[in-house]
Amino acid sequence: MPVEEGSRGFNRKRSVMWSAISVIFDRRLVCSAFTVVCPSLLWAQFTDPRTYDNSPVGINQLSLGYTYARANASIDYSLIIEGAKLNLNVGLLDYTRGVNFFNRFAWVEASVPLAGLEGAVNSTTVQGSAIGAGDSSFVFGALLKGGPALSLQEFSTYVPSTTLGASVTITAPTGLYNGDKILNLGSDRWSFKPEIAVSHPFGPDHSWVVDGGEKHNHFGG
């Protein structure tokens, strides 16, 4: 299911995220959307809902997001700082394009967070702040079943169906990092995340969707 438990030891209190201003555009389609969500984690463990829905190819989407969290980890929630009380503000710039991959719908995506971090570690003299870019991420995904590659005109008559998809996310160590400091926005390591997921629409006009999937994180030096 879309909601999973967080990383062990992660302090989740008082976190809130705004995923804001999603703009989809090509020569014929321009629209925008604003959503507010309150996840249990700073970054969701599962990919965003409806990621594995079918969409028309040739569409470009630019999204701007904002997150605030008070926790004991920086942008990468797997790097926990014991005893830390941190305030983290993150803006996310994300670009996605739908493409035709062997007659199946696929997408490429690139994103970079811009963040401000400040706080201290209990029972120590460690305190400070950091402002800059976090690690950038790059995604390639495709629908393996139930997601034919359709033009915008063809998609207007498409009836949603159950889809099976897979994706690979690579995170590059491009964020601000200083080995002499505890508070960093970057992780100074590569990561690789393969994921497989199922999306099933149901209800009147297929307006409801159930997502489920499995993913694994792998970290490099």
Nearest in space to 128 (alpha carbons), one of 85, 183, 47, 78: 183
Q: Quote the pLDDT of residue 85.
A: 84
Residue 32, domain member (yes or no): yes
What is the distance between the alpha carbons of residues 107 and 168, in angstroms, rounded to a whole number?
Answer: 11
What is the distance between the alpha carbons of residues 41 and 48, in angstroms, rounded to a whole number?
Answer: 13
Q: Quote the pLDDT of residue 221.
A: 64
Nearest in space to 88 (alpha carbons), one of 113, 117, 112, 126: 117
Residue 134, domain member (yes or no): yes
Task: Report residues of the chain scoring pLDDT below 50.
Answer: 1-22, 24-46
Residue 149, domain member (yes or no): yes
Q: Quote the pLDDT of residue 78.
A: 67
Q: Quote the pLDDT of residue 171.
A: 95
What is the distance between the alpha carbons of residues 162 and 155, in angstroms, rounded to a whole number?
Answer: 16
What is the distance between the alpha carbons of residues 104 and 126, in angstroms, rounded to a whole number?
Answer: 51
Domain span holding position 201 = 15-219
Q: Quote the pLDDT of residue 29.
A: 40
Question: Are residues 117 and 132 in contact, defined by beta-carbon separation less than 8 angstroms?
Answer: no
Residue 4, domain member (yes or no): no
Number of domains in the chain: 1
Q: Quote the pLDDT of residue 47.
A: 56
Q: Quote the pLDDT of residue 161.
A: 93
Q: List, for residues 154-201, the tens digit of each pLDDT value.
A: 999 999 999 999 999 999 999 999 888 878 889 899 999 999 999 999
| Nearest 10 degrees: Cα torsion 75, 14, 129, 34 | 60
| Nearest 10 degrees: Cα torsion 113, 14, 217, 121 | 90
Residue 72, domain member (yes or no): yes
Residue 30, domain member (yes or no): yes
Residue 8, domain member (yes or no): no
Residue 51 falls in which region: left (phi positive, over 0), alpha (psi -120 to 50) or beta: alpha
